[in-house]
Chains A and B, each alone.
Chain A
Amino acid sequence: MDSAEILRAKDQSLEHLRGIYGDEAETIIADRRYGFISGVLKDVMKRPAIERLTWSDRIDRVIVNRWLGIPLFLAIMYAMFQFTFTLSAPLMDWIGAGFDFIAARAVGISPDWLGSLIGDGIIGGVGTVLTFIPPIFLLFIAIAILEDSGYMARAAFVMDRLMHKVGLHGRSFIPMVLGFGCNIPAIMATRTIEDPKDRLITILINPLMSCGARLPIYILLAAAFFPAHRGLVVFSMYLIGIILAILMALIFRKWLLPGPIGHFVMELPPYRLPTITGVLVHMWERGEMFLIKAGTIIAGVVVFIWFLSSMPWGVEYASANSWIGQLGRLIAPIFGPCGFGQWQAAVSLFFGFLAKETVVGTMGAIFAVKEGSLGTAIASQLSWTPLVAYAFMVFALLYTPCVAAVATIKAETNSWKWPAFTVGYELALAWVMATLIYQIGRLFVG
């Protein structure tokens, strides 16, 4: 049988049915399936005469309330960061003390260069990154609890109205929230969005959502420069990320990928009490990657940075004349207007492209702090003010997604055009925002 003939027959059938029903066959078929289901259910299921208002419905009256929804979402996020910091601070101190102890032993190792590699490079770099295990894992626990309990679906529902204003659907908010863990699975999660343009916009704005790998940068600098307002400062980073993501979505929708908003029913799964196993499994799914990265890519980069810091032979470790200093001095002028035109800041951002944890890893290796904290070393050696630190945090939040995220955007959009575009617009956005914050802030705080 000729396939073309079958397809022609199909078109005739569709035409015929359109004539009868005035509608597409697809709709009639779906209606009939639902009809079958409701027929079966009438037969096999008894519902109470009045649907009981479950406790889930009652909670929703408050949570997804038109006026309370967004303030509650912000309050829950703020509580999440406070929880993360309060609990993780002592744990971080213990891990830090542990590494200091090992680093002190490393000084005695001969030959000198090996002691330096272990003490300055590996412990200074990888050790610094590993110190951030507690806050990262605690944040992932908090996200897992919010997800498993059913709250995240509500957050998307609450944001639906706002998302519609910028030309996206509330569904696009779910990948955004997932981005707080890691942008890679978040970008993959956009495949549930059917409209290709909606999906593309959601992908493009996703890296603006602050992932777990950026958290060490905020914690480090917030503790050193804003000791009294740590939680608030870190919270503000996430908020800036969300606000800019929504603004960029608006811009992309208007000028880059115009189109109508798709129609979807947002679903609200019932609330469930999260189980401990479930929460731990989800925490581990996200956290595992952080540990693997620390052991592979970050360790590799840190050793490379140690090498660049020790070369040319005989140079003072990590001085301006070392190779890394020369590289840093080459790029640093770009960051002058942002307030952090020092070469150390420039190289750490440069290597942060490989993985955002590397920003603190690089600083750890360069400063190789023997006593006191890395944060105070940055404050004293770079003579940063809180304003500069804040501008730096904003830059680190917004600038180019990491290599792995870029590769994911390439895979998901199946072209190099969109990853290149994302890197470009984010670098520009980060530079402009950091410069604005620094230059305007300087008018007020000198």
Chain B
Amino acid sequence: MAEEITIALAGNPNSGKTTVFNNLTGTHQHVGNWPGVTVERKEGVCRYGDHRIKVVDLPGVYSLTAYSLDELIARDFIVEERPDVVVDIVDASNLERNLYLTVQILEMGARLIVALNMMDEADERGYRIDIEHLSYHLGAPVVPMVANRNRGTEELLGEIVKLAEIERTECLRINYGREVEEEIAKLERLISQSALSQKYSPRWLAVKLLEEDEEIIKKFKGAGVG
């Protein structure tokens, strides 16, 4: 029995996202545009066991604010289209910067797999990464990979299929410090009574409001009385 799974590939520029995309989809690719804008949208299909996996390549971004078009597109796809799984390609030799995006996706409550790419380069630098422990802290599976030698693709597919079948997991909660948390809690209470909370996590909305995210503020303005 064939099942269709939709996954989104997220990741920083230069994290090897395109290589992972090519490894997954081979020649079964389709290039179009994101609705309303001239940003290229790549899609592909891959089969794994009984599963048909639709792979959507999101623009390469460092963060998910509303400041640039690319970031907005990536974020909107994750929140609005809700892919079954988001695969975040992370450059293992540059974890500090790459995980910023990972954390933001996890905070949105997406079902995420961290594809820890370029493990060879991390090794070369002498980094030793405890994969299991990282996975525990993030609350998400972590798959080590060397995409440009096509290593780790099978394991990634295995994790994708496994995760797609699990009920939505708990979001990552970062402690923003007592004062900020108090304000988040206040806003969360108000938001949970509004219509928008049906669609998005109230905590995420509260954090976004405090970040003065223009798109989210627009959503509230547009919602009027809920």
Shortest Cβ distance from B173 into A: residue: A36
Selected contact of B133 from candidates A38, A44, A153, CB within 8 Å: A44
- Is A74 an interface position by the 8 A CB rule? no
Q: Which of B1-9, B49-57, B119-127, B159-167 contacts A (4 or more CB under 8 A)?
A: B119-127
Contacting residues, chain B, for A191 (C-beta < 8 A): 39, 68-70
Known: A1-B193, A191-B69. A29 touches B210 (CB 8 A): yes
User: Which of B22, B38, B126, B194 meets A47, CB within 8 Å?
Assistant: B126
Stretch of A16-24, A158-166, A232-240, A377-385 contacting B (4+ beta carbons < 8 Å): A16-24
Q: Given the complex of chains A and B, what is the CA–CA distance between A188 and B96 in angstroms?
A: 29
Is the beta-carbon distance between A33 and B70 smaller than 8 angstroms? no
A76 contacts chain B at the CB level, 8 A cutoff:
no
Residue pair B212, A13 in contact (C-beta under 8 Å): no
Interface of B is mostly: helix
**Contact between A46 and B220, CB atoms less than 8 A apart:** no
**Across the two chains, which residue of chain B brings its CB closest to A412?**
B38
Known A3-B221, A3-B226; contact A28-B68, beta-carbon cutoff 8 A: no
From B125, B137, B138, contact of A54 by CB (8 A): B125
In the complex, chain A residues whose CB is within 8 Å of the CB of B40? 188
| CA gap between A46 and B95 in the complex, in Å | 12
CB under 8 Å from chain B, chain A span 19-41: 20-21, 24-26, 28-29, 32-34, 36-38, 40-41
Chain A residues with Cβ below 8 Å from B221 are: 3, 7
Nearest to B174 among chain A residues (CB) is: A36
Complex CA gap A3/B19 in Å reads 44
Q: Which A residues lie within 8 Å of B103 (CB)? A: 33, 36-37
Given the interface pairs A7-B220, A34-B100, the reply to whether A408 lies near B134 with Cβ below 8 Å is no
Majority secondary structure, A binding face:
helix
In the complex with contacts A1-B190, A10-B209, A269-B14, A188-B220 CB distance below 8 A: no
Given A43-B137, A46-B127; A192-B210 close (CB under 8 Å): no
In contact, B180 and A6 (Cβ under 8 angstroms)? no
Contacts of A1 in B (CB 8 A): 190-191, 193-194, 226
**Residues of chain A contacted by B212 (CB below 8 angstroms):** 14, 24-26
Are A3 and B104 in contact (CB-based, < 8 A)?
A: no
Chain B nearest CB, measured from A46 CB (Å):
4
A230 to chain B, nearest CB (A): 35
A8 CA / B194 CA spacing, docked (Å): 14
Count how many chain A residues have C-beta atoms less than 8 Å from C-beta atoms of the other chain: 52
Is B210 a contact partner of A25 (Cβ separation < 8 A)? yes
User: Does B224 reach chain A (CB closer than 8 Å)?
Assistant: yes
Asked if B129 contacts A192 (CB within 8 A), the reply is no
A215 CB to nearest B CB, Å: 24
B187-A9 in contact (CB<8A):
yes
Contact A411 B38 (CB under 8 A): yes
Which of chain B's residues 128-163 have a Cβ closer than 8 Å to chain A? 128-130, 133-134, 137-138, 148
Interface residues contributed by chain B, number (CB under 8 Å): 56
Q: A5 CA to B224 CA in the complex, in Å?
A: 10
A281 at the interface (CB under 8 A from B): yes
User: Nearest B residue to A193 by beta-carbon distance?
Assistant: B68
A285 CA to B199 CA, complexed, in Å? 39
B168: A residues at CB distance < 8 A: none
**A203: shortest Cβ distance to chain B, in Å?**
12
* Bound CA span A333–B126, Å: 69
Please measure, in the bound complex, the distance between the C-alpha atom of A43 and the C-alpha atom of B67, giving whole angstroms: 32
What residue of chain B has the Cβ atom nearest to residue A269's Cβ?
B14
Taking the closest CB of chain A, its distance from the CB of B72, in whole angstroms, is 10
Measured between alpha carbons, how far is A52 from B127 in the docked complex, in Å?
A: 10
- The smallest C-beta distance from A378 to any residue of chain B, in angstroms, reads 38
Q: Which residues of A contact B186 (CB under 8 A)?
A: 9, 13
- Chain A nearest CB from B2 CB (Å) reads 29
Q: Are A9 and B137 in contact (CB under 8 A)?
A: no
Q: Is A371 an interface residue (CB 8 A)?
A: no
Asked if A228 CB lies within 8 Å of chain B CBs, one says no
Assembly CA distance A7 to B218 (angstroms): 10
Give the shortest distance, in Å, between A27 (CB) and chain B (any CB).
Answer: 9
A45 interfacial contact with B, CB 8 Å:
yes
* Chain A contacts for B134, CB-based, 8 A: 40, 44-45
A6 touches B220 (CB 8 A): yes
Query: Could you tell me the distance between the alpha carbons of A343 and B37 in the complex, rounded to whole angstroms?
Result: 41
Return chain B residues, CB-CB under 8 Å to A9.
186-187, 190
Whether the Cβ atoms of A3 and B124 lie closer than 8 Å is: no
Indicate if the CB atoms of A46 and B194 lie closer than 8 Å.
no
Chain A residues in 8 Å Cβ range of B210: 10, 13-14, 17, 25-26, 29
Known: A20-B179, A41-B96, A45-B129. 17 other contacts (CB 8 A): A3-B224, A6-B194, A7-B209, A14-B210, A25-B212, A28-B177, A29-B210, A37-B95, A38-B96, A45-B95, A45-B127, A46-B127, A51-B125, A52-B125, A188-B38, A267-B14, A270-B93
Pairs A-B, 8 closest by C-beta atoms: A48-B126, A13-B183, A1-B193, A269-B14, A25-B210, A1-B194, A46-B128, A44-B133
Q: Which residues of B contact A (CB under 8 A)?
A: 13-14, 19, 22, 38-40, 67-70, 93, 95-96, 99-100, 103-104, 121, 124-130, 133-134, 137-138, 148, 174-177, 179-180, 183, 186-187, 190-191, 193-194, 207, 209-212, 217, 220-221, 223-226
29 CB < 8 A contacts A-B = A3-B223, A6-B191, A6-B194, A6-B209, A7-B209, A13-B210, A14-B210, A16-B179, A17-B210, A25-B180, A26-B212, A28-B177, A29-B176, A32-B180, A33-B100, A33-B103, A37-B100, A40-B137, A41-B96, A43-B137, A44-B130, A45-B127, A48-B126, A52-B126, A188-B38, A191-B70, A192-B70, A281-B22, A412-B38
